[in-house]
Amino acid sequence: MAKIDLEAIIKRYDLENISIATLASHSSLQIFHGARAEGLNTVAIVERSRLEFYRSFTRLINDFIVVDRWSDLCSESVVEKLRELNSIIVPHGSLVEYVGSECAESLGVPIFGLRSLYRVEASQRLKMDLLKRGKIPVPRSFSGRDLDDIDTLVIVKLPGAKGGRGYFLSRDPAEIRLRLKRLIDEGVISSTDDALIQEYVVGVTAYFHYFYSPILDRLEILGCDIRYESNVDGLKRLPNKYIEEIEPTFTVIGNIPMVLRESLLLKVYDYGMRFVNETKRSLPPGIIGPFCLESIVRDNGDIVVFEFSGRIVAGTNLYIDGSPYSWLYWDEPMSVGRRIAREIKMARDRRLIKKILT
């Protein structure tokens, strides 16, 4: 991968006319909404088939860059256009998935966020290692080689942000071995090591939305949500006699708001700080802006983190006018999308823009 000379690119930018650019998907409407609330220009990189829909949000998007396929993001002409518009890319959960990690890592346009985290996020194992180094409690995990050690219920997860599709539960090593073999035969994974096999922690799920501000050196808890998953959240409404033949699936369809017990927030804040500090140690300059710790809360109040996202998550779309937590920090409706734009403006105004771009 060619090294990008970010400094040279930013030097040529007209910082008084920054654009916030993102792929038209995932949480882009929130990102555009927040940027407009902060008075910044917005650029949607959009596949032709989605253009009509995104055009219907007339207040949100200033410029469209229409592409035939998402991976055109890294084409010379799109990069050129983005630079002309003094664009800062705000990455979201679909970026790496849509354009591929090579494009995302080498893209010649400044990104708001920690680009070196993409390589970690591509590997379930590297992700869990980072959490463990940060002393954040994670579920026990098993590899293809120690399937026979499994003595508890586990969830088997496949790589990539596919919204939970293909995950399955089991406590039987033989069944897991068989199903992984089938997935290899079908070409879904290339070896058992591609799957993440984690203890299924009994408790309730909770997804914590954080924002770390390098400019204020402050960690903010900006929200919390629960995922709404098909078909598992529908199955539970069926009488038992009808459920039995149906395999539960875990495709994320949407998100439901929640607030946590205030006494649990202390732990949530502490884990967030551990994540910030660990990324500063092992991936300097460390996390920039939004991230999410995806967790199970046990009935004794213990919190176990089974996954993280080093960027804005879709659950924040709930809080486009502010969340029950963002109002504690800000006197204005502050979505994560708007918080990103605010951080960029603060960085620019304090001549610290390089601190938040990679």
Instruction: Mark 85-124 with x for binding to its own copies (rule: CB under 8 A) and - for no binding.
Output: ---------x------------------------------
Least CB distance from residue 44 to its own copies, whole Å?
Answer: 12
Q: What is the largest CA-CA distance in the chain?
A: 66
Q: How far is the CB of 303 from its own copies (least distance, A)?
A: 10
Q: Does 178 bind its own copies (CB under 8 A)?
A: no
Residues 276-315 that bind its own copies (CB under 8 A): 296-301, 314
Using CB under 8 A as the binding rule, whether residue 352 contacts its own copies is answered as: no
Integer Cα distance of 304 and 37 in angstroms: 36
Residue 39 binds its own copies (CB under 8 A): no
User: Minimum CB separation from its own copies for residue 108, in Å?
Assistant: 26
Determine, following the binding rule CB under 8 A, whether residue 186 of this chain makes contact with its own copies.
no
Nearer to its own copies, 202 or 352 (CB): 202
Among 88, 117, 232, 312, binds its own copies (CB under 8 A): 232
Residue 327 CB, shortest distance to its own copies, in Å, is 5
Q: What is the C-alpha separation between 314 and 335, in angstroms, rounded? A: 12
C-alpha 354: how far from chain center: 22
Peptide bond into 285 cis (omega under 30): yes
> Can you tell me which of 122, 248, 274, 282 binds its own copies, judged by CB under 8 A?
248
Check binding of 188 to its own copies (CB under 8 A).
no
Nearest-Å Rg of the Cα atoms of the chain is 21
Tell me: does residue 45 bind its own copies (CB under 8 A). no
- Alpha-carbon distance of 99 to 104, in angstroms, equals 7
* Residue 113 dihedral angles phi and psi, to the nearest 5°: 140, 180
- CA–CA distance, 337 with 88 (Å, rounded to integer): 13
Nearest to 205 by CA among 293, 85, 124, 271: 293
Cα-Cα-Cα-Cα torsion 51, 53, 54, 60, nearest 10 degrees, comes to 150
Q: CB neighbours (10 Å) of residue 105?
A: 16
- Residue from the set 9, 79, 169, 184 that interacts with its own copies by CB under 8 A: 169
The answer to whether residue 255 forms part of the interface with its own copies (CB under 8 A) is yes
- Count the residues of the shown chain that bind its own copies, applying the rule CB under 8 A: 85
Q: Is 338 in the site for its own copies (CB under 8 A)?
A: no
Q: Which residues pair with 155 in a beta bridge?
A: 169, 198
List 88, 130, 215, 224, residue binding its own copies (CB under 8 A): 224
Residue 321, interface with its own copies (CB under 8 A)? yes
Separation of alpha carbons 155 and 251, rounded Å:
14
